[in-house]
Chains A and B, each alone.
Chain A
Amino acid sequence: MAMAALRKEGRRFAPLVSSPNPINAIRSTLAPTEEQVGLGVRSISTQVVRNRMKSVRNIQKITKAMKMVAASKLRAIQVRAENSRGLWQPFTALLGDTPSVNVKKNVIVTISSDKGLCGGINSTSVKISRALHKINSGPDTQCKYVVLGEKGKAQLIRDSKKDIELIMTELQKNFLNYTQVSVLADDILKNVEFDALRIVFNKFQSVVSFLPTTATVLSPEIVERESEAGGKIGDLDSYEIEGGETKSEVLQNLAEFQFSCVMFNAVLENACSEQGARMSAMDSSSRNAGDMLDRLTLTYNRTRQASITTELIEIISGASALEG
């Protein structure tokens, strides 16, 4: 009778332990604990729950610390990103914004992060890049990728390996500054032929909101073509060109400068979004760990009390057997 009560108690624990939504790190320890609890072994089941509680508590501490680190990094980089926002506006005021331009050689520059645990921003950038690729690849147009960042590379290399021209990683190893980005831009301009460059990044709007954005930079020949055709850049001809030998030389310099400016802002905004997304991901992770810890504590106390009760039952039934 004592053994039947024990087995009933044991079976009651199995659904309790499996019910909390596991965070992925804990899932691997879930399977063995079910069997052991099901058998109703007394002292070992409290040990098992206690181990789980210890690991969940560690995870909570680590994610909380990561959130604090991301918050401090965000504060530093947010100031710089906001200060760099003035840099691309004159170009858009002069040349307009032409994402629907139809050109032969498109290059999509995808900006992503190197480190993970930052929520869904890298997947969003890759999804947008793939859709842009689909829009712009046709019978007589080609579309290539330039990938910045490990996470984007990992996702794009799976199915578009032959379309990737250039991969650059470890951008944030040294402090991000304009010189570094202009060298990067120079690399891209030298090695990749393009008519239009489409830069895909996440613009930082607030700590919880990141807007996927695409900025378009046209090569000087296409700028001339579009300005002759009229439309958005139509009145480029009305501008007098000062400096340089020929108009095309100045337009060439202009296009290169525009690319490096837009890249600088894009890289900073993406870094900001990365830190913000990491902050909210780590915050929800530590909250989830806290919830899980509460549930495990209840389970632990129930296990402990049940084992005390069964000991008492054994003692009392033993004593009554002796007397009676």
Chain B
Amino acid sequence: MFRQVAHRILTRSTTTYSAGAAATIRRPYSTEVVADASSGDSAFVEAWKKVAPNIDPPKTPIQYMEPRPPTPSTLPSKLTVNFVLPYSAELSKAEVDMVIVPATTGQMGILPGHVPTIAELKPGLLSVHEGNDVKKYFISSGFAFVHSNSYADILAVEAIPLDRIDQAQVQKGLSEFTQKLNSASTDLDKAEAQIGVDVHSALNSALTG
């Protein structure tokens, strides 16, 4: 009886802690675990049971995701965008009209019904158009996937809203890296300086253009 009481105290204290911390902010993906707990790759589970029948098979990532909707027959009116960074999910299932991403081949506009694409991104300006709102971010490189069901996934390593960038610092960085590029000796130094120059000039054009 003592142990039951103690166990209840433990669960009560831990649930109040986690409920208090997590319930205050509604974070995207924070409750995505066990969306689809039962199914899994059946071939994998079979192979597992043959080798290790006493241990439960590990879960795989597809069991933690909500399945994506299939391709609709008519053209959807809005594009659903997931814009994710390692540190946060900026946009999660946001319905927008258009997104312009800085692909390596140039600025690419994505509208609902866009052809399925895998695009590699270079440092540049990303703008999200929703009605009359335009949100602009400067992103470092990443990838953008457009699926046939008008879902767009944009992954970037860093993204900063434009109003947080300091013009003076950008100019200073640009001149510094141009100098390094001119005085670089080894290939590695040259590559690093070139990357610096590219990023800073992209920043510059994003701020001015």
* A contact set with B: CB distance below 8 Å: 71, 75, 78-80, 82-90, 92-94, 96-100, 127-128, 131, 134-135, 178, 200, 203, 205-208, 211-216, 235, 238-244, 250, 253-254, 257, 261-262, 264, 279-280, 283, 287, 291
Contacts and interface: CB of A to CB of B under 8 A. Distances in A.
B61 A244 contact: no
B120 A212 contact: no
B48 A240 contact: no
- Chain A's interface: helix, strand, loop or mixed, by majority? helix
A241 B146 CA distance: 11
B55 interface: yes
A80 B21 CA distance: 13
Contacts of B153: 89-90, 93-94
Contact of B27 (A83, A200, A239): A83
A87 B27 CA distance: 14
Contacts of A214: 58-60
22 contacts: A78-B22, A83-B88, A86-B84, A86-B92, A87-B155, A89-B65, A89-B153, A96-B62, A98-B41, A99-B60, A203-B33, A208-B11, A213-B59, A214-B58, A214-B59, A240-B116, A242-B120, A244-B104, A254-B120, A254-B143, A261-B86, A280-B14
Interface string B140-168: 00110101100101010100000000000
A213 B63 CA distance: 10
Given A135-B47, A135-B48, 4 more contacts: A83-B29, A90-B153, A97-B61, A203-B33
Contacts of A216: 60
Contacts of B32: 85
Contacts of A264: 86
Nearest to A240: B117
What are the 10 closest A-B residue pairs judged by CB atoms, nearest first? A90-B153, A243-B104, A243-B120, A86-B89, A97-B62, A242-B119, A86-B84, A100-B43, A131-B52, A85-B29
Contact of B44 (A99, A244, A254, A280): A99
A195 B147 CA distance: 26
A241 B105 CA distance: 11
A82 B30 contact: yes
Given A85-B32, A86-B28, A213-B58, A243 B103 contact: yes
B59 A212 contact: yes
B17 A71 contact: yes
B34 interface: yes
Contacts of B61: 88-89, 92, 97, 213, 215, 262
A94 B116 CA distance: 10
B82 A97 contact: no
Interface centre among B11, B34, B87, B104, by most A CB within 10 Å?
B87
B89 A83 contact: yes
Contact of A240 (B30, B50, B92, B118): B118
Contacts of A280: 10, 14
B134 interface: no
B116 A238 contact: yes
B58 A242 contact: no
Contacts of B58: 128, 200, 211-214
A244 B120 contact: yes
A83 B87 contact: yes
Contacts of A283: 10
B18 interface: yes
B140 to A, nearest CB: 11
A135 B47 CA distance: 7
Interface in B60-77: 60-62, 64-65, 68
B51 interface: yes
